[in-house]
Amino acid sequence: MAERLKGHADRSIGAKSKFKVEFLVYTDKSGDIYHLECFLRPSASVRAWLALDNATDDQTARDAFEKTQVGTWRVACQWLAEPMELREYDIQF
């Protein structure tokens, strides 16, 4: 298996291979608006974006994605139900 893709250094949170991921929350006339956190209604979804290292070309990214070698996303969700509940998910892709 080849090495996983590297995230852009500007998005690092200081720990090895851990990065800030931004969510596309809406688009207006000035362009796409991203936030580090978002609220979702039941059954809704959101697109997430992580900048790859500048040395990664498009073909390398596509090849890694097809081979499920991009990485693992660890996502924490705060469910706003009674009682509130925190769940964490690992998504391999």
Report how far Cα 14 is from the mean position of its chain's Cα atoms: 16
Per-residue pLDDT, 1: 47
DSSP, collapsed to helix, strand or coil, labels residue 92 as: strand
Angle 35-90-88 from CA coordinates, rounded to 5°? 70
The secondary structure element, H or E, covering residue 75 is strand 72-79
**pTM of the predicted structure, to 2 decimals:** 0.58
Residues of the chain with pLDDT under 50: 1
Per-residue pLDDT, 71: 66
Residue range 34-55, pLDDT digits in tens: 888 888 888 888 888 777 788 8
Per-residue pLDDT, 3: 63
**Taking the domains of the chain in order of start, what are their residue ranges?**
9-92
